Structure formats: C-alpha cells, structure tokens
C-alpha cells in the first residue's frame, strides 16, 4: 500500500530516510557481498531448483486428486468432483526467494468446504505414503498450526491446510481478499496467514531483487550468530524478512550492500517498543483480535514488536525476552562495526558471517535434558520441552545477580545404547561415559536388560553480574525456583508420562561442556595444570581451555581474591550437596521393551569458577560511554520512528 507525502508516493508508514542512489563504493561492496554469499553456499544449484518445480507440480496434482476423491466419497457427481479443484501456495523462504540448498518448502493446501481437516490427515496423508518417491510422512494434527512433514524426491516439505467456505477452488484463486477468511476456524486462519503475510511482504518492498539479496545476507548472519529462532525468543524467518523489508522501504533506491549497512545501524538505534510496521494496521471482517497495545495489556508487553502486514495483523515476535533482546542488540552493534570496516576496505564480508561464540562466552551453563526410550516419542517430548525453554529464561531473568540468561537456538540429539538401568539413569542425567558414547546398536542386541535412550540437550548460558565495588563475601545465586517451576511446567503437558519421559535441569561449568557442542578443532586441548595450594578450591577443574591467556590475565586483575565469588544453588535445600540426586524410582520397561526413563530432579551446589574461566562482559550501561553507530550522509533514523506511527 503506497502512502502519499504531498505529491510523492512511498511504501511504508513513514516517508523514506533517503531516496538517493547508492554510491559507487556501495555498489562495489554489493558485488563482493554476492560473491561471498555464493562462496558460503547459500544458493541452490540449477538442478535442485528444477527438481523443486517438478516436486511442486506433482504435489499440486496430488492435492487435486485428493479433493476429487473426498468429493466423490461425499456423494458429489463426477463433474462436481472434477470441478472442486484444490490448489497449493508456497510461503516462507521459498516463496520469498531466499531458500538455500536442502531447505524445506512451506506449502499451503487450499481445499473447498466439503473437505475436512480429518480428511487431510487420514486420506491425504495415506495418499502421500503411497506416492512414489515420497518418504518420511509424519502428520501432527494437534499442533498449533496442524502440519504434515514429508519428503518428495528428497525435497523436504511442510504441508498445512486451509478449508475455505467455497464449493470449489479455482486455479486462479488469490488469497489477498480478506473476505476469504469469513466463517473459517482459527486453525485455517493461521494456516492461511503464512501465505498471505509472505505475499504481502513482497508487495510492500520497492525492489524485490534488492530485498532478496539483502535478506539472504541477514538470514545467513542471524543463523551464524545463533539468533535465528522464534521458539527460543529470538526472531524467526518472517520477522527477519519484515525487518529487511522495512529498511528497503526507507531506502527505496539503494542496493543490497547499502541496505545491509543501514539495517544494522537502524536496528541498533530502533526505539523499542516502537513497532516495526510495513503498512498501517487495518481492521477487517472478522471478530478476531488485531494487534493493539492500547487495547490489550499482553500486546503492550511485547518488547520488540514486529507486526505482520496481512489482516489480521499479529506480532511475530511475542517470544522475545529481556535477555534475547539484549543479545540481539549487542549483535546489531557488532555487525554494524564490521560492515563499517567492510565499506572502508578494512574487513571482508566473511568476517560478518563468523560463527557464534556461545560455548566460549559464559562461566556457567544450564543443561536441559529431555529423554525417552522411543524415537517417535522423543520428537514430541523434546519439541514440547523446547517450546517451554523461553519460560525458563524469563524466570531466570528475575534471579538476583543474574544479568542475563542466553538460550542456544537448537538442541543436541543423541542416541545412547545402554546395558543396564544404571547406564540409563546416567544418560538421562547427561552423564554419557566414553564407553556408552562408543557403543553401537549391535553391541546391545540380545543383551538382557539393555535398552536405547534418546536424549535432546538444550543449553542456556548464565551471565552473572559483576561484583559491585567494595562488596565482600561469597554471593549466592539461587536458581531453584525457576528450575523447579520449569520442570513442573513441562510435566503439565497433557501427554506427559513419568514412566516414559525424563526431564533434567542441571548446571555445568564451561570446562565441563561436552565435545559435541564444538566443531572439530574448535575446542583447544586441555592443558595439564599444577595442583593449587589450597584444598578448598579446585582451580584446575574449573579452568576453561577455550579462552586465550590475555583474557585470563584480564579477569585475574578484576578478581584478585582466590575465594569463590559466587555459589550457584539450583536447590534451596542442597547447599552442602555436590552431586546430582538420583531418581526416586528405577526405570520401568515399556510394552516394546524399551527402557522407560525416570523423572529426575537436580540438586547441587557449586562454587563459581576461578579467574581463568571465561567471563561474560555485559554491555556498558552508561549511555555516555557508548559510541553508537551512525547513519552516513546526515541520515536520521528518527524519520522511521516519527511520532504518530501507531
């Protein structure tokens, strides 16, 4: 929707910051940016692109066949069944044109009113399973947005369904008309929303090609910096796309390199919770809630609101927490400094895409371990636990002396082959010995009492606030309430079974992080160290191999005392304990013989690692000490957040 400023039309809710063409230097760095994106493997091959088109053609034909089959079963005539139609729409990264090799295709199946959701999961799912070249068909009918995940000719596809209040679905159907949403249930509205939002974003950018190139860069950067995850409180693909689209609106004649440069500066300076809007919020024909912070307290609580442009407008970033907002803001600033150096020729684009330092950054980490004895059950259980991690982060943010709780964006999956119940219990608590790690499936076949444990481990980095000047004594960091409440929360899942599912929350020192969280060669070898003179603090066991000596000396100068600075207490009743509490009951055997996993609580007390451990340096709080990145050429970010924007 184009707005008018006098005689000049523009896209967005404010006039552009600049309508100038990009400079010769910005054009040069755009060329090198695209070269780097190709080197990084973000573009698929021509053969894969053609295969995707073939797969989508086969899928479109299968959807029509499915609608026809159900129509005949409902008693429609042959002619009516043939005319009932059925159509697919792509959305997400594929529709936006920023997908990479091996990425999935988000696909919406639109069907007429006489085809039900039950038909989709009963009839269509079975038709998929019987189709040549189709593998890994898995329906999740009770998901927030019900979905079928599958692979066709090796191309992963996520299928959602929407039933419109129409007797037939024509081939030229457009989803832009808001009236199509009438008389639909909430799940159908949510399914339609993905496609409608994607199409609206593309309509609202001044140059689709520039938008795609810039978004491909931002997407890769966010993935490498481990801040690409809606479920964990960062931003998902749609939110990143809307941010890039907004910068494109503010610089309608700029090319990709200039858009990327302005992106980081403007996002760092953005006056949250001022919302990011691609067009004014519109009312529509449905009695549904549209994002409105003046009306709804929950909407006022959104920290970084990025609002979808298609009716009904929603906040795509309601999961953002205080911690994840701080982390993203810090990353915006770092990235703006790197791009500044790229522009002046003192850095390369590869520096922007450097891997995150999450597992080198903190002294303490929380491990959240979800485990079961079945691969199918593990998918659902670990997904449930992951969806609640954000709640744990929010509770940790209220803990005194804890500056920040940083969730990692993915879990680490492992399959362990255990010989007995003792090994099952150890694995469920995160203690996987070298012998268990090396064991293979055939090693336990025919062994009485042996079982397989499937586990997924999630990590949260804990940043302890620096000691205040003049303070003395050992500080206590009590995280018992957040961890206890979190375990209660996940066990409230309606399908939770304490005899089949395990949940463990425990803390570990950085030096105890398992090797699987590091890339090959990333972890420095542990160095042999001298025994400390004191018997009360085991300095060697807490020394991180991952931090250069320079940082170690810096931390030693800050903390000259050898006394522990902080005691971490996951349980109020465990101040003297040093080991994880064992489960209150032994594992039971399920009907299929797999070892069922116990419910486990952790109870430990730990001293803060010594001065040689890694340390989190929180952002400077005094605004006068911050050198904020600035837009070039006298451009003013305030234009984009002018008063009067809703």
Residues catalogued as catalytic: 93, 104, 106, 158, 219, 228
pLDDT in tens, 88-138: 999 999 999 999 999 999 999 999 999 999 999 999 999 999 999 998 888
First-to-last alpha carbon distance for the chain, in angstroms, is 16
What is the distance between the alpha carbons of residues 116 and 27, in angstroms, rounded to a whole number? 52
Which residue intervals of 418-501 are DSSP H helices? 421-428, 434-438, 480-491
CB of 221 within 8 A of CB of 353?
Answer: yes
Write the class of the CATH domain 360-466+477-517.
alpha beta
DSSP code at position 515: G
Q: Which two tokens stand for residue 614?
A: 């890694």
Domain residues of the chain, as ranges? 24-41+205-353, 46-199, 360-466+477-517
Q: What percentage of the chain carries pLDDT values higher than 90?
A: 70
Residue 578 clears pLDDT 70, i.e. is over it: no
pLDDT in tens, 506-520: 999 999 999 999 998
Q: Please, which residues bridge with residue 454 across strands?
A: 372, 415
Higher pLDDT, 553 or 257: 257
What is the distance between the alpha carbons of residues 585 and 2, in angstroms, rounded to a whole number? 65
Give the mean pLDDT of 170-193. 91
Burial 164-174 (b: 16+ CB within 10 A, else e): bebebbeeebe
Q: Which residues belong to the annotated binding site for ATP?
A: 91-93, 104-106, 158, 219, 228, 237-238
Residue 587 clears pLDDT 70, i.e. is over it: no
Query: pLDDT class for 467, splitting at 50, 70, 90?
Result: confident
Q: Which two tokens stand for residue 307?
A: 């609002």
3-state secondary structure 353-398: CCCCCHHHHCCEEEEEEEEECCHHHHHHHHHHHHHHHHHHHHHHCC
pLDDT in tens, 14-23: 999 999 999 9
pLDDT in tens, 36-55: 999 999 999 999 999 999 99
pLDDT in tens, 534-577: 333 333 333 223 333 333 322 222 223 333 455 555 543 332 22
Q: What is the pLDDT of residue 514?
A: 93
3-state secondary structure 139-192: EECCCCCCEEEEEECCEEEEEEEEECCCCCECCCCCCCCHHHHCCCCHHHHHHH
What is the distance between the alpha carbons of residues 187 and 181, in angstroms, rounded to a whole number? 11
Give the mean pLDDT of 145-150. 90
What is the distance between the alpha carbons of residues 187 and 194, in angstroms, rounded to a whole number? 12
CATH number given to 46-199: 3.30.460.10
Query: pLDDT class for 635, splitting at 50, 70, 90?
Result: confident
CATH architecture classification, 24-41+205-353? Orthogonal Bundle (1.10)
Pairing of strands 412-418, 364-372: unpaired
pLDDT in tens, 154-178: 999 999 999 999 999 999 999 999 9
Omega within 30 of 0 (cis) for the link into 115: no
Q: What is the pLDDT of residue 376?
A: 86
Q: How many helices (H) and strands (E) does the chain have?
A: 19, 15
pTM above 0.75? yes
pLDDT in tens, 265-299: 999 999 999 999 999 999 888 888 899 999 999 99
pLDDT in tens, 353-403: 999 999 999 999 999 999 999 998 998 899 899 999 999 999 999 998 899
Q: What is the CA radius of gyration of the chain?
A: 27
504 class by beta-carbon count within 10 Å (0-12 exposed, 13-18 middle, 19+ buried)? buried
Q: Which residues belong to the annotated binding site?
A: 91-93, 104-106, 158, 219, 228, 237-238
What is the distance between the alpha carbons of residues 117 and 110, in angstroms, rounded to a whole number? 11
Q: Which residues belong to the annotated binding site for Mg(2+)?
A: 104, 106, 158
């Amino acid at each position: 929707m184009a707005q008018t400023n006098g005689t000049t039309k523009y896209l967005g809710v404010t006039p552009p910051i600049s309508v100038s063409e990009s400079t010769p230097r910005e054009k040069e760095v755009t060329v090198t940016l695209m070269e780097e994106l190709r080197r990084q493997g973000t573009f698929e091959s021509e053969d894969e692109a053609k295969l995707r088109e073939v797969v989508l053609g086969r899928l479109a034909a299968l959807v029509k066949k499915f609608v026809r089959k159900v129509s005949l079963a409902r008693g429609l005539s042959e002619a009516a069944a043939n005319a009932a139609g059925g159509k697919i729409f792509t959305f997400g990264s594929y529709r936006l044109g920023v997908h990479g090799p091996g990425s999935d295709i988000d696909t919406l199946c639109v069907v007429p009113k006489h085809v039900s959701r039950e038909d989709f999961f009963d009839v269509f799912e079975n038709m998929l399973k019987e189709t040549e070249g189709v593998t890994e068909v898995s329906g999740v009918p009770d998901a927030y947005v019900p979905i079928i995940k599958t692979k066709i000719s090796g191309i992963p596809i996520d299928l959602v369904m929407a039933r419109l209040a129409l007797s037939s679905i024509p081939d030229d159907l457009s989803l832009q008309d808001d009236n199509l949403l009438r008389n639909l249930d909430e799940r159908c509205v949510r399914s339609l929303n993905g496609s409608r939002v994607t199409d609206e974003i593309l309509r609202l950018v001044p140059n689709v090609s520039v938008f795609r190139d810039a978004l491909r860069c931002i997407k890769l950067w966010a993935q490498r910096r481990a801040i690409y995850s809606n479920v964990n409180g960062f931003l998902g693909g749609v939110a990143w796309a809307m941010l890039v689209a907004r910068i494109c609106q503010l610089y309608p004649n700029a090319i990709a390199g200039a858009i990327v440069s302005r992106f980081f500066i403007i996002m760092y300076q953005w006056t949250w919770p001022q919302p990011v809007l691609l067009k004014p919020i519109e009312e529509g024909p449905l009695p549904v809630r549209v994002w409105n912070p003046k009306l709804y307290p929950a909407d006022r609580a959104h920290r970084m609101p990025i609002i979808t442009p298609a009716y009904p407008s929603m906040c795509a970033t309601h999961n953002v927490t205080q911690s994840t907002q701080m982390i993203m803001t810090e990353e915006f600033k770092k990235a703006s400094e790197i791009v500044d150096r790229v522009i002046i020729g003192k850095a390369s684009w590869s520096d922007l895409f450097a891997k995150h330092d999450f597992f080198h950054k903190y002294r303490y980490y929380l491990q959240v371990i979800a485990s079961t004895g079945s691969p199918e059950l593990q998918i659902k259980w670990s997904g449930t636990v992951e969806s609640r991690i954000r709640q744990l982060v929010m509770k940790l943010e209220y803990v005194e002396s804890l500056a920040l709780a940083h969730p990692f964006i993915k879990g680490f999956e492992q399959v362990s082959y255990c010989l007995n119940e003792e090994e099952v219990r150890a694995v469920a608590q995160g203690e996987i010995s070298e012998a268990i790690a090396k064991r293979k499936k055939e090693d336990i076949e025919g062994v009485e009492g042996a079982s397989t444990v499937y586990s997924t481990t999630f990590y949260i980095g804990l940043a302890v606030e620096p000691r205040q000047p003049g303070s003395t004594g050992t500080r206590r960091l009590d995280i018992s309430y957040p961890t206890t409440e979190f375990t209660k929360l996940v066990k409230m899942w309606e399908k939770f079974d304490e005899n089949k599912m395990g949940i463990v929350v425990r803390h570990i020192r950085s030096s105890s992080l398992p090797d699987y969280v590091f890339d090959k060669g990333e972890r420095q070898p542990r160095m042999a160290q001298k025994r400390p003179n004191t018997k009360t603090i085991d300095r060697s066991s807490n020394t991180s191999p991952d931090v250069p000596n320079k940082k170690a000396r810096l931390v030693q100068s800050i903390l000259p005392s050898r006394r522990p600075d902080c005691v971490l207490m996951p349980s109020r009743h465990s101040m003297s304990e040093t080991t994880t509490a064992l489960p209150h009951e032994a594992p039971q055997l399920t009907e299929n013989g797999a070892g069922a996993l116990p419910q486990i609580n952790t109870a430990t007390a730990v001293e803060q690692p010594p001065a040689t451990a890694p340390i989190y340096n929180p952002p400077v709080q005094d605004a006068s000490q911050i050198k904020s990145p600035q837009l070039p050429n006298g451009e003013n970010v305030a234009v984009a957040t002018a008063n009067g924007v809703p």
